[in-house]
Amino acid sequence: MGLRLSALAWGLAEATLFFIVPDVLLSAVALRDRALALRLCLWTLTGALAGGTLMYLWGSHSIDAASQALIRVPAISQSMLENVAAALQQAGVLATFLGALTGTPYKIYAALAPEAGISLAAFMAISIPARLIRFVLIALAAAWIARRWFGNWSHRQRLLLLLGIWTVFYIAYFLFLGLNPDAG
């Protein structure tokens, strides 16, 4: 039950104001147990949908307060919010799905969707594939890579390598966005 609640809580937290993706947990679990990681994707999705709903409601109630909170999250800038707002105006709800491919935080789409005239039902409908596809792909890729290239490594060695990869990823991500706030 602990991993399920962790996945649920991480999905909720990252969809609101936390800034580390739940893919870290999912990929770590996938190193040892692909089937469990795939089940955890559904728990993570449930948390993400709850968080997305909270951000949507916050944005519909007070877009200024939600926007101010978002730009305090590491690697989120005012220009990123403006880019997401423009994408939502141009592509509608589909922008949320496309945003998942660019690394733009889901929480921004959730908070700004009401301003773009996107209903909560439409936003939730696109959120399911937008979030779940990435979660599943990360879990499957981590499991496959662990077996294919690191099958003779201990679980601890694989976990340390994965944590190193995530650390390098986040250092690069924060440095890139910190040096180029208009990248979002």
pTM of the model: 0.92
pLDDT for the residue numbered 184: 52
pLDDT digits (tens, 9 = 90+) for 84-100: 999 999 999 999 999 98
pLDDT for the residue numbered 164: 95
Q: Is the pLDDT of residue 181 over 80?
A: no
Write the DSSP assignment of 123-146 as a string of letters: HHHHHHHHHHHHHHHHHHHHHHHH
Q: What is the mean pLDDT of residues 133-146?
A: 96
> Cβ neighbours of residue 171 under 8 Å, at least 6 residues apart?
none
Q: Which of residues 160 and 102 earns the better pLDDT score?
A: 160
pLDDT digits (tens, 9 = 90+) for 67-80: 999 999 988 999 99
Q: Is the pLDDT of residue 179 over 60?
A: no
Write the DSSP assignment of 5-66 as a string of letters: HHHHHHHHHHHHT--S-THHHHHHHHTT-HHHHHHHHHHHHHHHHHHHHHHHHHHHH-HHHH
Q: What is the mean pLDDT of the chain?
A: 93
Confidence of residue 119 (pLDDT cuts 50, 70, 90): very high
CA–CA gap between residue 24 and residue 37 (Å, rounded): 11
Count of CB atoms within 10 A of residue 30's CB?
27
97: helix, coil or strand? Answer: helix
pLDDT for the residue numbered 103: 82
Q: Is the pLDDT of residue 174 over 90?
A: no
CA–CA gap between residue 168 and residue 162 (Å, rounded): 10
Confidence of residue 175 (pLDDT cuts 50, 70, 90): confident
pLDDT digits (tens, 9 = 90+) for 7-22: 999 999 999 999 999 9
- Return the axis-axis angle of helices 94-102 and 78-91, rounded to nearest 10°: 140
